[in-house]
Structure 1
Amino acid sequence: MKSHVVFTALAMIGCVVALGACSPKPGADDVAASEASESAAMSITAAEAASQAVAEAMTSVDATGYVGKWTGPEGTSLTVTPAGSDYEVVITNLDGPRTFTGTLQGDGIHITRDGAPLVIHKGDGEATGMKWLADKHDCLVVAANEGFCKD
């Protein structure tokens, strides 16, 4: 039945496009096609609304300050970049850069490094546990005695 409704709707669209107008005989199939079109339009609207909600959530995450380059002592850094629904996290220490895939959850960006789960979260310089960063205010804490700041 649904395929018949879809076929009828497509035939009507094709008729309008090809001839500029058609005058099919009204009937039950026309009503069903109209209802199917309205249902499809509502589904698209719901999908668009869900997509917009995700985009707004991602924007609010960016606004909280996770995305960007964060610096640490002795040339170390942490860079967070959006990558679809995840984040690319590059941690550069004295051994060089390493890249991780992070997922945002309520308490921060979750990554796994060397088999251990870590949560990168907001804090200040004191929260990093690093004396070089103690006077900073806008920081990300990776682990005990490991953090990076923007200011």
Structure 2
Amino acid sequence: MKKTLFLLCAVALLAACNQEAKDAPKPAPASVQATLVPQTPPTDQWVGKWIGVEGLNLTIAKDDSIGRGHYVLTMQYGLDAGDSGTFKGEAADGGIAFTRPDGPQLLRAGDGEATGLKWLADKKDCLIVATGEGYCR
């Protein structure tokens, strides 16, 4: 009995040593960000300060801690003190997508006339959240 047990253990050890090395794990595919976000997103040109009407303002900064195409938006978007905040944004088709308390938003390029605000009507370089909310340089 001991001889049989010894023989089975020896065969098991030899079988384990004879296995071929497994293939190395394949590298993960390129990240979605690397394949979908261009090296320099057009929205990078929007980094900086933008001015609205009656004290409304927007400052866009790159969020390099996350990666390209990510931004931090600091804004006063309404006349009430509570209508301000800092929001994370991401390059999206047509602009920068972000969410604030009044819901998901898309910041997009336009001109002063597209803001719907007569005080900005003659401006050419503007960013618009919605009609009546725009920021220009």
Compute the TM-score of the two structures, normalised by the length of structure 2.
Answer: 0.64
* 1:68 has 2:37 as partner: no
Q: CA deviation at 1:105?
A: 0.8
- Equivalent in 128, 132, 137 of residue 124 of structure 2: 137
* Aligned alpha-carbon RMSD (Å): 2.9
CA–CA separation in structure 2 for the residues paired with 1:60 and 1:101: 16
Pick 1 or 2: higher relative contact order, CA cutoff 8 A, min separation 6. Answer: 2
Paired residue total:
109
Q: Which has the larger radius of gyration?
A: 2
1:107 matched to which residue of 2? 94
Q: CA deviation at 1:54?
A: 7.5
Q: Unpaired runs of 5+ in structure 2?
A: 1-20
CA–CA separation in structure 2 for the residues paired with 1:113 and 1:127: 22
Higher helix share: 1
* 1:124 has 2:111 as partner: yes
Is the partner of 2:46 in helix, strand or coil?
coil
Q: Letter of the aligned partner of 2:40 in structure 1?
A: T
Q: CA deviation at 1:75?
A: 2.3
Is the partner of 1:75 in helix, strand or coil?
coil
Compute the TM-score of the two structures, normalised by the length of structure 1.
Answer: 0.59
> 1:134 and 1:87, CA in 2 relative to 1: closer, same or farther beyond 3 A?
same
* 1:91 has 2:86 as partner: no
Q: CA deviation at 1:76?
A: 1.6
